[in-house]
Homo-oligomer: A and B are copies of this chain.
Amino acid sequence: MRNAYHEELSGIGRGLVDMARFSAQAVERATAALLDSDLPTAEQIIAEDARLDGMHHDLENRAITLLARQQPVATDLRLVVTSLRMGTDLERAGDLAQHVAKLTRLRYPESVIPQELRPIVRDMGRLAKELMLKTAEVLDARDVDLALTLEGDDDQMDLLHRELFQHMIDGRWKHGIETAVDVTLCGRYYERFADHAVEVAKRVVFLVTGEHADDFVVES
């Protein structure tokens, strides 16, 4: 019984790692499609989000089956409940990558991102992918030290996000309001994507140590 239990539990863990890797790849490809105005890739990302939803659905069913069959208590119960919460974060991150792809499709064949903002958006996309790959690794290896580095990465994302806005409001904007609206939404998608990655990593820290990641950061 215990073996079946640990097998089911690690199945949930693997499901989360797979979802995180899938989201990381989605945001990487969505960024490339955004910068290249690549419609076929954008369409593919939009269609493939259903796979992530399916992974999330499977994860929930695994968790419910485990709760029903094994009736875990204490730490193990909290682990399963937290996994459900992390699954929601990861599905949502995938939605945000899909939103980037939808903006690309909406403006095609025009480019969403003006020339001078491309380096910032490229950096935001790269950072979003890296954050999520780290989160996958944190989930896989229960690596608390790695989890704590995500806060720094997220600060960097906030800096890029502010830089993006600064470019728009410095009085030299020549791209009209519609592009400003698109860039604003795009920046928000990347920022929220990163938030979800950090949120999942923080939950792993809490599961492993019983302490909230924020407490660590204050001390370090």
Contacts and interface: CB of A to CB of B under 8 A. Distances in A.
Interface string A155-188: 0000000000100110001001110110011001
A78 B88 CA distance: 16
| Secondary structure type dominating chain A contacts | helix
A68 B81 CA distance: 11
A64 interface: yes
Nearest to A74: B68
A-side interface size class = 20 to 34
Nearest to A67: B77
A77 B80 CA distance: 13
Nearest to A176: B169
A71 B74 CA distance: 12
A6 interface: no
B178 A169 contact: yes
A194 B176 CA distance: 29
